Amino acid sequence: MPQSAPRPEKSTSLRKDYAYLFERFYAFLGTKTDGPMGYLVFDELDKSASHVLLGQVASYFIKTRAGRARSRLIIPEPFFVHSDLTTLVQLADIIAYAISWGLRLKGMTKECRKELAPVVREVLALRFRHETETRTVWGYKVIDDLRPAPAQMA
């Protein structure tokens, strides 16, 4: 997401990037035949921010049609961990850094860091792709506006 992407004012609604994350996670879990449930694990940077996010996630899974549907495969209660103590969260941070600074998709205009190319090739190999009847869902998406869409609430 570009640094210039509009961000929501303090809100009880979930940011759009989280909604897209949950959409892709749900699609990924739906491709698995053994029916696994997905766990949400977030890095706890600030306890008060974690409480806000917890409320937003709960609201999304309870008050939106998409959230209720996705709660069939995603456990709607996230875990918060400290990344300095959790190796997999550190790995996710490294992958996010490589995507942010080394990968360029359509609509991304900032120059990338070319020295990250070997890591980006490995990260691209992990990219999720799912075909539906109407579209292709990719694991990576450029989101230009982080404000939640009010029409998603129902």
Tens place of pLDDT per residue across the chain (154 aa): 566 677 777 766 788 889 999 999 999 998 888 878 999 999 988 899 899 999 999 999 999 999 999 999 999 999 999 888 888 888 988 998 999 899 988 878 889 999 999 999 999 998 889 888 998 888 888 888 888 876 344 4
Residues 53 and 77 in one domain: yes
Instruction: Tell me how far apart the alpha carbons of residues 93 and 90 are, in angstroms, rounded to a whole number.
Output: 5
State the residue range of the domain holding 63.
Answer: 13-81
Residues 53 and 17 in one domain: yes
Residues 58 and 104 in one domain: no
Residues 77 and 90 in one domain: no
Instruction: Tell me how far apart the alpha carbons of residues 22 and 67 are, in angstroms, rounded to a whole number.
Output: 8
Q: Where are the beta strands (DSSP E) in 13-133?
A: 41-43, 79-81, 129-131
Residues 55 and 68 in one domain: yes
In a domain, 50, yes or no: yes
In a domain, 143, yes or no: no
Residues 60 and 105 in one domain: no
In a domain, 77, yes or no: yes
- Number of structural domains found in the chain: 2
All residues at 6 or more sequence positions from 129 whose CB lies less than 8 Å from its CB, including other chains: 136, 137, 138, 139
- The per-residue pLDDT for 153 is 43
